[in-house]
């Protein structure tokens, strides 16, 4: 039985005080949820949100991380800095990082291994563009992102890995993959993971869907066999839209 994992990616929204205030509202509202929950504020807001989330059931996520432990890397934030402020989970390989900041699979892989080696959980994001989908390359693209993103990750570390399938064309567009289309890719993700590790490990793995998830579509997505959660952008920014998603109950 896989525990549903509902996560909010706040991207570059909310100031520090807005983030802390919103986190307080989430703690009050979501205490009864039986799901695994996470919010990922911007780097600057992490300490303030960490203080609010302490003792609650909501995990603290970061949206990115440097591929090195420390050094002369202007503008970067290290794994030790994230751990020091209480981050539990880090989102890596988000399509906005891959496409706007040209992050390669090799770079994402260095970050994934570093995060896991430092006992963080990692959400590895994968997903195809509309052109890749139209050219029938979904499995090629997603398979490569998985194999290269997880290269060198030990079987024993896999229980700290979540995969988020986020088709690029569905992010922030209001277009959601149909539950059936999403589920087919999620099933394929399990097949790839099964060939890399074991069927058992692939069955235990949490695979989130991301891309225009809203209170109105979360139920039908979560009803699919291989969809175990959601990585939510826009709808995670307001209590009215995030609470019904986070409180989702099968």
193, 213 contact by CB (below 8 A):
no
Nearer to ligand 13P among residue 149 and residue 233 (C-beta): 233
Is 94 labeled as catalytic in the residue annotation?
yes
Is residue 231 a contact residue for ligand 13P (CB under 6 A)?
yes
- Give the tokens for residue 167: 């088709």
The whole-angstrom distance between residue 9's C-alpha and the CA centroid of its chain comes to 8
Is residue 155 a contact residue for ligand 13P (CB under 6 A)?
no
Spatial CB neighbours of 248, under 8 Å, sequence gap ≥ 6: 4, 6, 35, 218, 219, 222
Is residue 234 a contact residue for ligand 13P (CB under 6 A)?
yes
Residue 167, φ and ψ in degrees, nearest 5? -60, 125
Is 166 labeled as catalytic in the residue annotation?
yes
| Partners of 230 in beta bridges | 6, 209
Is residue 205 a contact residue for ligand 13P (CB under 6 A)?
no
- Give the tokens for residue 32: 């009864």
DSSP 94: -
Is residue 163 a contact residue for ligand 13P (CB under 6 A)?
no
Is residue 233 a contact residue for ligand 13P (CB under 6 A)?
yes
- Of these residues, 103, 128, 166, 186, which one is catalytic? 166
Is residue 211 a contact residue for ligand 13P (CB under 6 A)?
yes
Nearer to ligand 13P among residue 71 and residue 102 (C-beta): 102
- Of these residues, 94, 96, 128, 186, which one is catalytic? 94
91, 231 contact by CB (below 8 A):
yes
Question: Closest CB to ligand 13P belongs to which residue?
Answer: 233
Nearer to ligand 13P among residue 42 and residue 232 (C-beta): 232
- Give the tokens for residue 134: 């139209």
Nearer to ligand 13P among residue 88 and residue 212 (C-beta): 212
The neighbour count for residue 90, using CB atoms within 10 Å, is: 27
Is residue 64 a contact residue for ligand 13P (CB under 6 A)?
no
Is residue 213 a contact residue for ligand 13P (CB under 6 A)?
yes
Give the active site residues. 94, 166
């Amino acid at each position: 039985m896989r525990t549903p994992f509902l996560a909010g990616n706040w991207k570059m929204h909310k100031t520090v005080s807005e983030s802390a205030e919103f986190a307080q509202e989430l703690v009050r509202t979501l205490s009864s949820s039986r799901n695994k929950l996470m919010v990922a504020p911007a780097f600057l807001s992490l300490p303030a949100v960490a203080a609010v989330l302490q003792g609650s059931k909501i995990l603290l996520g970061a949206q990115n991380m440097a591929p090195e432990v420390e050094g002369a890397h202007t503008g970067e934030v290290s794994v030790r800095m994230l751990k020091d402020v209480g981050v539990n989970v880090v989102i890596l390989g988000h399509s906005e990082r891959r496409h706007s900041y040209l992050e390669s699979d090799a770079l994402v892989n260095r970050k994934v291994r570093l995060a896991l080696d430092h006992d963080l959980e990692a959400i590895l994001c994968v997903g195809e563009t509309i052109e890749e989908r139209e050219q029938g390359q979904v499995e090629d693209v997603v398979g490569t992102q998985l194999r290269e993103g997880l290269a060198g990750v030990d079987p024993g570390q896999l229980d700290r890995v979540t995969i988020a399938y986020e088709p690029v064309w569905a992010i922030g567009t209001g277009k959601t993959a149909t539950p059936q289309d999403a589920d087919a890719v999620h099933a394929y993700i399990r097949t790839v993971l099964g060939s890399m590790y074991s069927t058992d490990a692939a069955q235990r793995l949490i695979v989130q869907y991301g891309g225009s998830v809203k209170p109105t579509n979360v139920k039908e997505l979560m009803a699919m066999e291989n969809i175990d959660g959601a990585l939510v952008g826009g709808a995670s920014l307001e209590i009215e839209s995030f609470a019904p998603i986070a409180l989702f109950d099968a």
